[in-house]
Structure 1
Amino acid sequence: MSEDETVFDRLGGHEAVESVVNDFYDRVLDDERVVHHFEDSNTTELRAHQVQFISAVTGGPVEYSGDDMRAAHSGMGITDSEFTVVAGHLDTALAENGVSDEDRERVLETVEELRPEIVEITESSETGSATS
């Protein structure tokens, strides 16, 4: 493995990222816990943005040009646990597409850093509102 080889390269490039993203969205859209967030979405566009995002965060020759994460997810009411579910689907899609544990961990660490920008409802605020 070359020192300057990126995670994107080790994933297998653009086609491999597309495969991961398609697998990921197939899982998300089949999950009743989170599918409601995507019911009015253009999934073709979402997949394209996700390919661009994953390519960019893995060191591919792509710059992400979509909305920033806070703007893209504002008003969706995504909970902490829903974020965890979706991240789990990404981990599974990466694993099932042959991505190494180390590279999966790198991608998921980057995704985890975005949690505060994406999640609007934490479990503690859910609990607090339920007991109020």
Structure 2
Amino acid sequence: MSQAQSIYERIGGRDGVEAVVSDFYDRVFDDPLLEPYFEDTDREALYAHQVQFISTVAGGPVSYDGADMQQAHEGMGISDEAFDRVATYLAEALRENDVTEDDVDAIIDQVADLQPDVVEQ
């Protein structure tokens, strides 16, 4: 009996996740609302952490070893609008890379659960 494929496997494994993350950051870094959040950020490290994060939430054989979400975003003043825009760009990047709508929804639902830890009121 074979096991059902994980979202990670359906995306295309590491190569698929890297394509999604690349498309995601193309959108994020071009957005004037989001640009200030990334001015002093090591983009290579950010990219690597995002690959780990997406791989983890998609059920891949990767463990996220970055700071917890609250600690990683503390003091950044992230608004609900900025969080929502990032989530929208992630969903668009997933769809652009032929991820099914069910899998997009599953990933975005997990991301949405993190909103209270990321957004500063």
TM-score by length of 1: 0.89
Matches of 1:68 and 1:43, distance apart in 2? 18
Q: Which ranges of structure 2 fall in alignment gaps of 5 or more residues?
A: none
User: 2:60 corresponds to which residue?
Assistant: 60
User: 1:117 corresponds to which residue?
Assistant: 117
User: 1:95 corresponds to which residue?
Assistant: 95
Q: Which ranges of structure 1 fall in alignment gaps of 5 or more residues?
A: 122-132
Matches of 1:4 and 1:94, distance apart in 2? 20
Matches of 1:28 and 1:38, distance apart in 2? 9
Identity %: 49
TM-score by length of 2: 0.97
Q: List per-residue Cα deviations over 1:57-100 (Å, max 9, x = no partner).
A: 11100011100000000000000011000100001000001100
| 2:8 is the alignment partner of 1:8 | yes
- Pick the structure with greater CA Rg: 1
Matches of 1:20 and 1:12, distance apart in 2? 10
| 2:60 is the alignment partner of 1:30 | no
Residue 4 (structure 1) shift: 2.6
User: 2:73 corresponds to which residue?
Assistant: 73
Residue 3 (structure 1) shift: 4.7
User: 2:48 corresponds to which residue?
Assistant: 48
Supply the AA of the counterpart residue of 2:101: D
